[in-house]
Amino acid sequence: MTTLSKIAWALIFVMMVLVFKKELAAQERYVLQKLKSEIVFDGLSNEPAWQDIEALPLIMFQPEYGGTLSQYTELKVAYDDNYLYFTGLMHDSQPDKWQVQFKRDDWKYNCDWLGLIIDTFNDKENTVVFATSPSGGRTDVAFSNDAKSVMSDMNLSWNTFWDVKTVTDEKAWYSEIRIPFSSLRFQEKGDEVVMGITAFRYISNLNESYDFAQPDIKHGFWGLYKASQAQEFVIRGVNSKNPAYITPYILGGLEQVNQLNDPGTDYQRVDKYKWNAGVDLKYRLSDNFTMDVSLNTDFAQVEADDQQVNLTRFSLFFPEKRLFFQERRSNFEFNFDQFNRLFYTRRIGIDRGSPVGIYGGGRIVGRVGSWDVGFLSMQAAPTENLFSENFAVMRFRKQVINSNSYIGGILTNRMDFKNNYNRAYGIDGIFRLFGDDYLNVMWVQSFENDNLNKPLSLDPSRIYLNWERRTAKGLGYDLSFSRAGSDYNPGMGYERRKDYSQYGVMVFHGWIPEKKFIYSHQLTLNTFQYMRNSDGSRESAELWLGWEFSTQENAGLKLTQKVIYDNLIKDFNLSENEFVPIGSYTFSNLKAEIYSPRGKTLSIGSILNIGPFYDGWINSVSISPRGTFNNRVELTGTYQFNMVTFSDRDMEYNAHVFRLKGVLGFSNKLSFAAFVQYNSAIDAVLANARLRYNPKEGTDLYIVYNEGYNTERYRDIPALPISNIRTIMLKYTYTFIL
């Protein structure tokens, strides 16, 4: 019996057990109280209507789980016909140490927070977060996949319409958050809506978090944002409206490009004046369905990507920051291990790192019965390398067996008008077996023109099986099997390797002590290997042992000792001149990550990687300081130095990355952000600056400046210009609500 057959039979056995497994006991539900009279939305909850609302029972979540609250805090949630309200009274014995945010969506540790987390569909998978600080700034965030992995499941670019008012005095700060029901996606059953709700207060100076819903400490700090940990609330008699949001934009500016002249003897500057206009439409088809339409889509205001030095033989992964792709993003996710995924939105409107024009497109997301549904279609403009292409995806998921289990499917289609296409379908399931044990099953096949496209073969197929225990306390494990066939090519996705089989085992044990200097620590043993399907040889493997801990003040250290095997069948190029030759390599190196208390006004983090590297030696270090000054200025810097030496081959590769980000918050409506990067691997300095005026949600004025500078100008003849390209753009958007 083959390995695949054994896995299949084991999977069938598990599925049979699941079918006969009874549903877990339903959570006791609270009934959300409705305001009996009008209130004044001013930040203070002193009206008679608020006095009738019971305060939420709070616990200390960290650093002492279940401990006594050191600062008096009163949080209340209520609603009326149009809005969900959340109010907080936060006493503080040290108001001079408040830390705040002014810039929209400035999510950070060193800030005092009041937040409401809502699982609007009560699907135990997705939450949206509405948070503010004593300054009254607004930050909204979305989490998917039950916040399993913060790196991939947290969406900082998600935005919606809501308001906040905040008042401060010498002993406390007070806040009211008002969220229109029209900004939330939910499902009505009769006259009732069920949502999961978690509320929290975070005191940065003390690193104390007070929470309602009492998430289990075994999930660690990020358990607070898990939809599965939220308290279920019944809301009766919601009469939400379905407004249409029409957001036109106008954009104009100057682009200056230095181009080589026809004789090839010098560079000359070419000025290009640009203007553009377009419109976005958002309309709630129903309480649980939203349609978005975009014409002449533009993303000029989006922040530049962080520069990275690639010391691997795989392509780099960059997160999606464009707002249009953020609405209910989890409806479209079909993610495997690491960053591998069938649908990667940066395939749309970006080619080889450069922007591609988008004529427009549409998206519909929502729920039909117990099915989550998403459909997206975008039409991209042609480029020098590509014809005009259409990108389409349909995704659907259904809750089955218990509240934490799903089955679903996906269809993707990328095609142009020259009979070139790439299509894929996939089916998946995630099942909560018992306790914190989950089984994830995924099957995909891709087809494209000029391929054999054999549906009964494993060649165009992608398989992923994963059994894990999701916990940060006690024994945990993660067992995985992954396979990609020789013809598998996700034209709308991201895949690091081709034609391989992967086996992985991770075992860990976590401790979360009480009333100790060390807040939590964990030991991890992880091993995995990749095999080539073509001949069964081992392509690469890793075995590593790690230990990490964090303190009561949110400082921490992580140590990882790795043993790495890599079998190269072609040279691995670090740059044009430095490379690792074909061969088999086994080496071991040490990685250390350390950070100071992250809730303070000044903090620093550092990463060190040292040891053998193929047939050479690596010394890599990065230092990242952060400072907040007068609560209005924040500076974040990163310097990374990588030195790889191959003494036997008299070869050395050095790469530097420097990043400096600055944020100046003039007010909650006006902010300035600047971003300068140096990357020696591309011999360039990149600068990005954005002035944003946001008087209210849906109305924005951006002034955006971008420039790319050459550093080693004399590496070519003729000498390169100081500046490659310079742009300055003004973009204005205004939302009409009908």
224 lies in the same domain as 113: yes
**Token pair for 339:** 């960053």
Going by C-alpha positions, the residue among 716, 637, 640, 725 that lies closest to residue 679 is 640
Summarize pLDDT for 361-372 with one digit per residue, the tens.
999 988 887 788
Domain final position from 187, 207, 236? 236
Does some domain include residue 645? no
Mean pLDDT of 151-156: 80
Per DSSP, 723 falls in state E
Strands 651-665 and 670-679: antiparallel
**Token pair for 67:** 């401990």
64 lies in the same domain as 199: yes
3-state secondary structure at position 539 = strand
Q: Is the peptide bond before 48 cis (omega within 30 degrees of 0)?
A: no
* Sign of the torsion formed by the C-alpha atoms of 528, 530, 533 and 539: negative
State the residue for tokens 């998946």.
428
Reported confidence tier of residue 309, pLDDT bands at 50, 70, 90: confident
Reported confidence tier of residue 514, pLDDT bands at 50, 70, 90: low
For residue 93, what is the domain's CATH number? 2.60.40.1190
3-state secondary structure at position 7 = helix
Residues in Cβ contact with 149 at an 8 Å cutoff, skipping those fewer than 6 apart: none
Q: H or E stretch including 719?
A: none
Q: Is the peptide bond before 455 cis (omega within 30 degrees of 0)?
A: no
Q: Which segment of 30-34, 322-326, 395-399, 487-491 scores lowest on mean pLDDT? A: 322-326
Round to whole Å and give the CA distance between 131 and 225.
Answer: 12
Summarize pLDDT for 433-472 with one digit per residue, the tens.
999 999 999 999 999 998 889 999 999 999 999 999 999 9
Domain final position from 177, 208, 236? 236
Round to whole Å and give the CA distance between 69 and 613.
Answer: 50
Task: Quote the pLDDT of residue 352.
Answer: 79
Is 80 exceeded by the pLDDT of residue 240? no
191 lies in the same domain as 339: no
Task: Quote the pLDDT of residue 197.
Answer: 97
Between 353 and 31, where is the model more confident? 31
316 lies in the same domain as 229: no
Round to whole Å and give the CA distance between 723 and 353.
Answer: 19
Round to whole Å and give the CA distance between 697 and 404.
Answer: 34
Summarize pLDDT for 260-291 with one digit per residue, the tens.
888 888 899 999 998 999 999 999 887 678 89
Does some domain include residue 427? yes
Is 80 exceeded by the pLDDT of residue 27? no
Residue type, 375: F
Does some domain include residue 105? yes
Q: Which own/partner pairs from 579-583 qualify as long-range (CB within 8 Å, at least 24 positions apart)? A: 580/614, 580/615, 580/616, 580/646, 581/615, 583/615
Q: Which own/partner pairs from 159-163 qualify as long-range (CB within 8 Å, at least 24 positions apart)? A: 159/105, 159/323, 159/326, 159/697, 160/128, 160/184, 160/697, 161/245, 161/697, 161/698, 162/130, 162/138, 162/697, 163/41, 163/697
330 lies in the same domain as 209: no
Radius of gyration of the chain (CA): 27
Reported confidence tier of residue 186, pLDDT bands at 50, 70, 90: confident
3-state helix, strand, coil in the chain (%, to 5): 10, 55, 40
Kindly tell me the burial class for residue 170, based on how many C-beta atoms sit within 10 Å of its own C-beta (0-12, 13-18, 19 or more): exposed
Task: Quote the pLDDT of residue 24.
Answer: 42
Is 60 exceeded by the pLDDT of residue 704? yes
522 touches 550 (CB < 8 A): no
Summarize pLDDT for 597-612 with one digit per residue, the tens.
988 899 999 999 999 9
98 lies in the same domain as 214: yes
Mean pLDDT of 176-187: 91
Going by C-alpha positions, the residue among 552, 597, 665, 511 that lies closest to residue 134 is 665
74 lies in the same domain as 182: yes
483 lies in the same domain as 339: yes
Does some domain include residue 163? yes
Residue type, 712: E
Task: Quote the pLDDT of residue 25.
Answer: 43
Task: Quote the pLDDT of residue 350.
Answer: 87
Domain final position from 219, 236, 253? 236
Task: Quote the pLDDT of residue 204.
Answer: 93
Range of the domain at 465: 308-450+460-498
Round to whole Å and give the CA distance between 318 and 326.
Answer: 15
619 touches 610 (CB < 8 A): yes
Is 60 exceeded by the pLDDT of residue 162? yes
* Phi and psi at residue 292, to the nearest 5°: -120, 135
Task: Quote the pLDDT of residue 327.
Answer: 67
Average pLDDT, the chain: 90
Give all strands (DSSP E) within 487-535, no chain letters: 500-511, 518-532
Strands 244-260 and 231-236: unpaired
Is 80 exceeded by the pLDDT of residue 18? no
Round to whole Å and give the CA distance between 60 and 212.
Answer: 9
**Token pair for 463:** 């398989």
Going by C-alpha positions, the residue among 400, 467, 399, 389 that lies closest to residue 423 is 389
Question: Cα–Cα–Cα angle for 445, 451, 456, nearest 5°?
Answer: 45
Residues in Cβ contact with 694 at an 8 Å cutoff, skipping those fewer than 6 apart: 104, 669, 670, 671, 700, 701
Round to whole Å and give the CA distance between 11 and 467.
Answer: 10
Round to whole Å and give the CA distance between 590 and 561.
Answer: 5
229 lies in the same domain as 316: no
DSSP structure string for 578-596: -EE-SEEEEEEEEEEEEE-
Mean pLDDT of 652-673: 94
Task: Quote the pLDDT of residue 1.
Answer: 44
Does some domain include residue 444? yes
Does some domain include residue 327? yes
Give all strands (DSSP E) within 123-204, no chain letters: 127-132, 139-143, 154-155, 163-168, 172-180, 188-189, 192-203
Does some domain include residue 151? yes
230 lies in the same domain as 312: no
Mean pLDDT of 358-385: 90
**Token pair for 713:** 């100008």
42 touches 171 (CB < 8 A): no
Distance of alpha carbon 143 from its chain centroid, rounded? Answer: 8
Round to whole Å and give the CA distance between 647 and 31.
Answer: 70
210 lies in the same domain as 350: no
Mean pLDDT of 25-36: 83
Per DSSP, 23 falls in state P
Domain count, the chain: 2
**Token pair for 160:** 């919606």
Is 70 exceeded by the pLDDT of residue 596? yes
Is 70 exceeded by the pLDDT of residue 20? no
Distance of alpha carbon 667 from its chain centroid, rounded? Answer: 26
Reported confidence tier of residue 590, pLDDT bands at 50, 70, 90: very high
pLDDT over 90, % of the chain: 68
318 lies in the same domain as 232: no
Kindly tell me the burial class for residue 404, based on how many C-beta atoms sit within 10 Å of its own C-beta (0-12, 13-18, 19 or more): buried
pLDDT over 70, % of the chain: 95
Going by C-alpha positions, the residue among 479, 395, 397 that lies closest to residue 438 is 479
Does some domain include residue 331? yes
Q: Which segment of 221-225, 239-243, 557-561 scores lowest on mean pLDDT? A: 239-243
Residue type, 550: S
